[in-house]
């Protein structure tokens, strides 16, 4: 390993230039899901490709079924035998609405004090994911300036559809997997455990979404004339949804837990040592009593246990005042957060069978499967790549990183595993109050600086004299 002292000094010395480049990137309103901004997305991709070209990469834009994909390839002068790293990020951002809730314009980045008094960069995409992806690019820039070459082969892949439709990158990778013979994927799109403690995310829950509609009478009916003998779809659907969980919070769908593995005892012990304040966590959103699957801590419920949630339910009259009707149908939207070992297609099939088995004779059911599927992912905690990241993060922050999980999904991690057969190392420097997807999104200046320094220390793990 080469000590990164000289590179770290270069990072600190030219940090104002790194900030300036990030500000350039943040000024692009690259809202991938909005057709009005497709031209801005292409300009953003072109800007990133130019940055990679300036670093000595062979950079290009590749056509996908969505926004253009930025690809940059780097091979050291003596590349034979060196590992091949794939770094992934995304340049698209969430829509900025509602604009009136922003303190400053979302695409006019500025530095000001956050609620904790620390300097932060306020802009849409500052945290998710432009600031994060730039930590790696700026670390690579400084390493190349000091040493002339990186200690591994590197492919940088930056997409423009992460916030809207993961099918675009998935279909691209499926068709072109042979182009990317990587040994590992690095992703910077996650957060730290707390303001002082870094983290490596080794668990992501997948997600299966489905909509179910129960249909009863052919039209809405007068409740005074028909109330009693007629099946009410809202009542039927409510009973079915209520039966998905038992009194202990366990999901009752047959076969739902097939493939679910207990977390390793060592990891469970580490999570217990974090002393996660569940009551405070709930108090921040106006609640006080922990719910969920009994026998598991709040962290386990969020990071390592599958869930079934009703996200929306509607039917019948919803206008002002009263209307005494029996609705002809009722609909609910559900998502199932899944963990490693569960098959989303089997869960979908099992849920449909569960609903049909509880449907009265006079009712019909309709399903909408457009909610999509993604599987849960777990990365072994002891791989050389994870160990290198652990050592590097401890050197930068002076404390061991937390091996944490996430209740959400990052679909590309599944795509990398499925199509490229590689695990992902997820290291991010966001804070819990950075407001990604919300007004006044921010990224602390210190998060950006230490993110660059951390990636430099990770790079150093693979360098030899």
Tell me how far apart the alpha carbons of residues 46 and 431 are, in angstroms, rounded to a whole number.
Answer: 29
Would residue 293 count as lying in a domain? no
Domain boundary among 354, 374, 394: 374
User: What integer pLDDT is reported at residue 286 of this predicted model?
Assistant: 96
Query: In angstroms, what CA-CA distances link 103 with 108, 126, 320, 432?
Result: 11, 15, 34, 19
Domain termination residue (choose one: 374, 392, 419): 374
Residues 154 and 111 in one domain: yes
How far is residue 340's CA from residue 264's CA, in Å, rounded to a whole number? 13
Give me the domain span that covers residue 404: 5-204+378-460
Same domain, 365 and 244: yes
Q: How far is CA 369 from CA 18, 162, 333, 344, 372, in A?
A: 44, 20, 10, 12, 7
User: What is the total count of domains within the chain?
Assistant: 2
pLDDT at 25: 98
The pLDDT of residue 337: 96
- What length is written for the chain? 465
Is residue 289 one of the residues assigned to a domain?
no
Low-confidence ranges of the chain (pLDDT < 70): 1, 465
pLDDT of residue 372: 80
Examine the domain organization and report whether 220 and 365 are in the same domain: yes
What are the pLDDT digits (tens) for 30-88? 999 999 999 999 999 999 999 999 999 999 999 999 999 999 999 999 888 999 999 99
Q: How many helices (H) and strands (E) does the chain have?
A: 14, 19
Residue 277 lies in a domain: no
Determine, yes or no, domain membership for 296.
no
* CATH at residue 251: 3.30.70.360
Residues 169 and 242 in one domain: no
Structure tokens at 228: 């009693």
The per-residue pLDDT for 408 is 86
Q: Cα–Cα distance between 120 and 445 in angstroms, integer?
A: 5
Same domain, 173 and 54: yes
Does residue 292 lie in a domain region?
Answer: no
Query: Does residue 409 share a domain with residue 397?
Result: yes
Pairing assessment for the beta strands 84-90 and 184-187 based on DSSP bridges: parallel
């Amino acid at each position: 390993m080469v000590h990164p002292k000289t590179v770290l000094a270069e990072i600190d010395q030219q940090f104002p230039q790194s900030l300036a480049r990030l500000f350039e990137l943040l000024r692009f309103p690259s809202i991938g899901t909005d057709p009005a901004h497709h031209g801005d997305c292409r300009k953003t991709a072109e800007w990133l490709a130019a940055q990679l070209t300036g670093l000595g990469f062979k950079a290009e834009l590749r056509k996908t079924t969505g926004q253009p994909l930025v690809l940059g390839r780097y091979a050291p002068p003596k590349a034979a035998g060196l590992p091949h790293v794939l770094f992934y990020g995304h340049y698209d951002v969430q829509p900025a609405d509602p604009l009136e809730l922003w303190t400053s314009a979302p695409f006019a980045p500025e530095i000001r004090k956050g609620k904790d008094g620390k300097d932060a960069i306020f802009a849409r995409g500052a945290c998710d994911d432009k600031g994060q992806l730039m930590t790696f690019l700026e670390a690579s820039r400084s390493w190349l300036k000091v040493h002339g070459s990186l200690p591994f082969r590197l492919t940088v892949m930056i997409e423009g559809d992460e916030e809207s439709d993961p099918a675009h990158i998935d279909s691209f990778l499926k068709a072109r997997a042979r182009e990317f013979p990587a040994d590992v994927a690095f992703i910077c799109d996650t957060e730290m455990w707390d303001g002082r403690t870094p983290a490596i995310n080794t668990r992501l829950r997948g997600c299966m979404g489905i909509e179910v509609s129960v249909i009863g009478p052919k039209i809405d009916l007068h409740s005074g004339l028909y109330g009693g003998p007629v099946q009410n779809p809202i009542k039927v659907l409510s009973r079915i949804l209520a039966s998905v969980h038992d009194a202990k919070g366990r999901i009752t769908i047959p076969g739902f837990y097939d493939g679910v593995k207990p977390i390793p005892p060592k990891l469970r012990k580490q999570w217990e040592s974090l002393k996660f304040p569940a009551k405070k966590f709930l108090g921040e959103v106006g609640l006080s009593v922990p719910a969920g699957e009994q026998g598991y801590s709040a962290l386990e419920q969020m990071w390592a246990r599958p869930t079934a949630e009703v996200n929306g339910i509607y039917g019948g009259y919803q206008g002002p005042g009263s209307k005494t009707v029996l609705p002809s149908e009722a609909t609910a939207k559900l998502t199932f957060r899944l963990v490693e070992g569960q098959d989303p297609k089997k869960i979908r099939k099992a849920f449909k069978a569960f609903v049909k088995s509880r449907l009265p004779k006079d009712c019909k059911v309709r399903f909408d499967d457009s909610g999509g599927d993604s599987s849960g992912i777990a990365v072994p905690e002891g791989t050389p790549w994870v160990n290198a990241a652990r050592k590097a993060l401890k050197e930068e922050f002076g404390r061991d990183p937390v091996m944490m999980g996430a209740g959400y999904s990052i679909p590309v991690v599944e795509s990398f595993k499925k199509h490229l057969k590689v695990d992902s190392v997820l290291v991010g420097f966001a804070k819990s109050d950075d407001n990604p997807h919300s007004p006044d999104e921010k990224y602390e200046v210190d998060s950006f600086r230490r993110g660059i320094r951390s990636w430099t220390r990770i790079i150093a793990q693979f360098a030899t004299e």
